[in-house]
Amino acid sequence: MLQNTGSLAGRTLFVTGASRGIGRAIALKAARDGANVVVAAKTAEAHPKLPGTIYTAAREIEEAGGKALACVVDVRDEQQIQSAVEQAVAKFGGIDILVNNASAINLTGTLGTPMKKVDLMMGVNLRGTYLTSKLCIPHLLKSSNPHILNLSPPLNLNPIWFKNHTAYTMAKYGMSMCVLGMAEEFRGQISVNALWPKTAIQTAAMAMLGGEGIERQCRKADIMADAAYAVFSRPLAGPAYTTGHFLIDEDVLREAGLSDMEVYAVEPGHPLLPDFFLDVETDGATPTSKAPPSSMTASNPIEETFGLIRTVLSQDLVQSTKGVYQFDLSGDHPGTWFVDLKQGAGLAGQGLPPLPPDVVMSMDSALFSRMFRGELKPTMAFMTGKLRIHGDMTLAIKLEKMMGAMRKSKL
């Protein structure tokens, strides 16, 4: 891992969404240098499902050697941001670094995304980043080496990154467009860059999206914290001056002299899941030590698979799922199939479902077979663009439970 050098001692970071995840990791890395950190986040009281509050993060920062200021901040609220900025300047004398980490995510298609969710993502990701930057910039301009770092992706215009979640992509790319504009506007005055992970990072959001076991294919948030630290250490002038760049965590660390990235893996040696917005050749497959059952390699594997699905349907599965799935398959075995886990003891078969589907999953029939053999999770197929999902994304995660039960009964 990247060693601390003391370069951030006495400097003040304003970090949005710093109560958990990547924001917290960046804050703690800076704290080990003796930095001042403004923990600007919404969580003031413990969440039943998510770890951390602004106060627990502040305590950890001070235990690590830094100074902390916990501020309740919803980045959609201008008054809350302004108040936090004023408190930071009064307590620490200024602001040297802004980390725009706060973000909202909803991975649904156009017809399946309520405008409330669209407004949330636009408000937090795009507007929140722009507004927080606007209010911090007057103070950043007084710093000897000011930085704005947005945790946002390169502006990859490959349509695959739009088609399944247009609203999220627009909102996230809005953060990246702030980098383009502000870097040029404040060139030579503030370093403005974006940082994005090469692989999935172990966070609460990833756990919700990927389901049980996803952490094995992730890296720890420490890799983003170390990369951010390396960026903050770059000067405002000279050949190392960097602004307007879309940086990838692993590339930053290799440039800083690190070669061993396995130290950041949650499970060293396990294949890693590429993150969104990066065109990486992968199918997201997870190795398996067991060969697929012979019945799943029959001449019509889809019919055979649905035969196995029927064997695991139960009232308990219906109660824990409460959803109707429709599968639109193409390729060698095209057709429409369904699994009704909303009524009775469940039902599965060919054709349209008896009730309107809660989620429609479109894919190649070979991909469908691979998913049910356990070689590929639905969420991972979706992330790599091989699976299109219209409707409730959480049902894709619940589907993995049925797949696991089916394989357990058969293998």
| 241 among known catalytic residues | no
Q: Work out the angle between the directed axes of helices 166-185 and 128-140 (0-180°, nearest 10).
A: 20
Question: Cα separation of 401 and 388, whole Å?
Answer: 19
The residue written with tokens 């012979």 in the block is: 294
Task: Name the amino acid, one letter, at 113.
Answer: T
Question: Cα separation of 215 and 294, whole Å?
Answer: 30
Among residues 401, 46, 379, the alpha carbon closest in space to that of 208 is found at 379
Question: Cα separation of 77 and 165, whole Å?
Answer: 25
Pairing of strands 359-364, 191-196: unpaired
Query: How far is residue 398 from each of residues 93, 254, 282, 319, 353, measured CA to CA in Å?
Result: 49, 38, 24, 11, 18
Number of helices and strands in the chain (H, E)? 14, 12
User: Which residues have a Cβ under 8 Å from the Cβ of 143 and sit 6 or more positions away?
Assistant: 11, 94, 95, 96
Is residue 121 within 8 Å of residue 168, measured between CB atoms? yes
- Cα 76 from chain centre: 20
User: Which residues have a Cβ under 8 Å from the Cβ of 351 and sit 6 or more positions away?
Assistant: 336, 337, 338
Rg over CA atoms, the chain: 23
Question: Cα separation of 378 and 270, whole Å?
Answer: 19
Question: Cα separation of 14 and 73, whole Å?
Answer: 11
Q: CA end-to-end span of the chain, whole Å?
A: 41
Q: Work out the angle between the directed axes of helices 54-63 and 21-31 (0-180°, nearest 10).
A: 30
Q: Which of 55, 130, 168, 325 is catalytic?
A: 168
Active-site positions read 168
